[in-house]
Amino acid sequence: MIKTITTDIVVIGAGGAGLRASIEAVKMGARLAVISKEPFGRAHTEKAMGGLNVAIKPPASPEQHYQDTIKGGWYLNNHKLVHIFTHEMPDRIYDLVSYGVKFDRLPDGSFYTWAGGKQSAPLNLCAGDYTGREMMHGLASEVKKLKVPFYAHYFVTKIFADKKGVYGVYAFNQKNNRPVFFHTKAVIAAAGGAGQLYKITSNEPSNTGEGYVWGFNIGAELQDMEFIQFHPTGMAFPESEKGSLITEKVRGHKGKLINSKGERFMKRYQPERMELAGRDEVARAIYTEVQEGRGTKHGGVYLDVRELGLKDIKKHIPEVYAKFKKYGVDISREMMEITPTMHHMMGGIRFNEWGETNIPGFYAIGEVGTGIHGANRLGGNSLAEGQVFARRTGISSSIFVSKIKHRKFSDKIIKDETKRLDDLVKRTKGISFKEIRKELGSIMWDKVGIVRDEKTLVSAAEDIESLIKKAAKMKATKKTLQPVLETFEMVKLARIIIACAIVRKESRGAHFRSDYPKMNKKWEKNIIVKNVSGKIKTIVRPTIKL
Ligand SMILES: Cc1cc2nc3c(=O)[nH]c(=O)nc-3n(C[C@H](O)[C@H](O)[C@H](O)COP(=O)(O)OP(=O)(O)OC[C@H]3O[C@@H](n4cnc5c(N)ncnc54)[C@H](O)[C@@H]3O)c2cc1C
């Protein structure tokens, strides 16, 4: 018999979004089970560096934050959600402060803020360049205080839903492979992003993107999946650190981009905003410099922050300083070598202002959700929007579960899932998941990267179909069951991303098509993607305006 735990809400994910939703739902009186792959308090959010956006003091205002976000997203954002986000955000900062989060302050005690890419006034509130870690400390200690039931080191394999909505979650304990079935009335997916699909990424190993595929499998609508953010500045070497993030805060604190000829090349691309243009624009400029032969030895360009001086470098970007120092580079005296890196999924599961999706009882928040960032995310908006919509979802899901009873389920669904996993572990011969991931990373980086066109995308789609067939032959052991299951979902997610990238025949934000290099007003629309009888169906819908 498999252990069954009955609860009201299962929260999958314990990053900034999952923890914030849990706090609110528990306060509302709901019974919870919070699940994460990693130890408590160590989710990917911990790695966030530069800060979170909020109009906390003049000259920043919620209206300016709203306008910057919409312009930064090239008008594809859900305007209604962005309005709520930017206007509620200041209150969410005071929540975090009440959980013990310490943001940087000026000598007069007011918050220290700085302006990132495409911000018309300083919006970025931070704790040094370790904002995520500081935030997670506060959120985790509040969760502990509230005694939220937590299942760390559990891996979710499947969400169960039918026409009436969700009713179960299957997971296993990574330490001993023992399965658990959570019988639930609602599921909050806070499962984070999918950087691991790409060869070069700033994301943690846990960001394998199964949340998107669960959504797709149970009929939830996804949107904007073609928009993948490539952060302009990841480490270019050593190989083991390739893609590791160098926060935008460096460029927000006098950092200049220089090519191998010593030119400050952003003058040619974005003479007004220079290094603080949109991430999409800066990443493309670096890509062009490298393609045209003005790159560095490790295939990147230089980032020069020497002008800031050692004292301020240590004060504002201590982690970046330490990261390079470890490899013998003193950034107060030498330039950093950087390369663009896959950083963020702008697309995801569609949700409304209460975190609801089109599937009853299924909610999506944080990076696995979509709607705030449009075609390009402003740095600092992800940590922030996660707080606003997580709180709202905690409230709405608690109200939802208070009005319904647990649904009946058949034991067969549990047996079938157990058999699927058992059969996999029995496969001693076959392809290694590492081989599939290596191929996937290269296909996505080379053909669905910073610059794409019809030819590369169609070729990527063919490659992925072969890879899906190949992945079906993966072998697994008890130890590799989790990465094997992740890899199954990763290749399916790649298929969805490519399908959407083929449909959008224009260039906008992070989606640059060399065969359609201009933005086209007719495409001020979102691409929705759905599972129709197991097939990908794309639907083009007008963007939601205020
Ligand atoms: C290096 C780096 C720096 C960044 N800096 C900033 C910044 O300064 N400001 C900003 O706004 N944004 C930043 N971002 C983006 C931001 O960190 C993320 O978008 C955000 O933290 C996502 O939070 P989340 O709660 O949605 O998901 P995550 O923090 O990624 O958490 C996802 C959770 O889901 C769980 N999970 C997923 N799948 C399963 C499964 N199958 N079973 C069980 N559990 C599962 C994981 O274990 C984890 O607990 C940065 C991103 C990176 C990569």
Closest residue to atom 26 of ligand 1, CA basis: 366
Instruction: Give pLDDT, residue 275.
Output: 97
Q: Does residue 428 surpass a pLDDT of 90?
A: no
Residues with CB under 6 A from ligand 1: 12-18, 35-38, 43-45, 47-52, 131-132, 154-156, 190-193, 202-203, 206-207, 210-211, 245, 343-344, 366-367, 380-384, 386
Q: Are the CB atoms for 211 and 349 separated by under 8 Å? A: yes
**pLDDT tens-digit readout, 492-543:** 999 999 999 999 999 999 999 999 999 999 999 999 999 999 999 999 999 9
* Angle (CA) 216 493 450, round 5°: 130
The one catalytic residue in 133, 251, 279, 391 is 279
Question: Residue for token digits 């460029």?
Answer: 251
Instruction: Decide if domain 232-340 falls under CATH 3.90.700.10.
Output: yes
Range 411-542 classified under CATH 3.40.50.2300: no
| Residue 179 CB neighbour total at 10 angstroms | 18
Q: 264-297, pLDDT tens digit by residue?
A: 999 999 999 999 999 999 999 999 999 999 999 9
**Nearest atom within ligand 1 for CA of residue 485:** 41
Instruction: Give residue 47's Cα distance to chain centre.
Output: 12
Cα 45 to ligand 1 centroid, rounded to whole Å: 4
Query: What gap in Å lies between CA 198 and CA 202, rounded to an integer?
Result: 10
pLDDT tens column, 233-275 = 999 999 999 999 999 999 999 999 999 999 999 999 999 999 9
Residue 207 CA to ligand 1 center (angstroms) comes to: 7
Q: Where are the alpha helices (DSSP H) in 32-108?
A: 62-72, 79-98
Between strands 124-125 and 113-114, the pairing is antiparallel
Q: pLDDT (tens digit, 9 = 90+) per residue, 117-132?
A: 999 999 999 999 999 9
Which phi and psi (to 5°) does residue 526 adopt? Answer: -100, 145
CATH for the stretch 3-226+344-402: 3.50.50.60
Atom 31 of ligand 1, nearest CA residue? 15
Angle, helix 79-98 to helix 62-72, in steps of 10 degrees: 130
Query: What is the number of other CB atoms lying within 10 angstroms of the CB of residue 533?
Result: 5
Tell how strand 336-345 and strand 228-235 pair up: antiparallel
User: Which amino acid belongs to residue 302?
Assistant: Y
Q: Tell me how far the alpha carbon of residue 297 is from its chain's centroid.
A: 30
3-state secondary structure of 35: strand
CA 319, 322, 324, 329 torsion: positive or negative?
A: positive
Alpha-carbon Rg for the chain, nearest whole angstrom, is: 22
19-55 pLDDT tens trace: 999 999 999 999 999 999 999 999 999 999 999 999 9
Alpha-carbon distance of 116 to 381, in angstroms, equals: 11
pLDDT class for 73, splitting at 50, 70, 90?
very high
* Domain ranges, ordered by start, for the chain: 3-226+344-402, 232-340, 411-542
Q: Tokens for 444?
A: 């996505």
What's the half-sphere exposure (Cβ side, CA atoms, 13 Å) at 340?
28
CA distance 412 to 414: 5
Hunting for tokens 């970046």 — which residue is that?
Answer: 320
pLDDT for residue 1 is more than 90: no
Dist. CA 275 → ligand 1 center (Å): 25
Active-site residue, 20 included: no
Q: What's the pTM? A: 0.97
191 alpha carbon – ligand 1 mean position (Å): 8
Average pLDDT over residues 348-353: 98
Type of residue numbered 194: A
| Tokens found for residue 298 | 């490790």
* C-alpha to C-alpha distance for 508 and 121, rounded to whole angstroms: 24
Identify the bridge partners of residue 114 per DSSP, sorted by sequence position: 124
Sign, Cα dihedral of 306, 312, 313, 316: negative
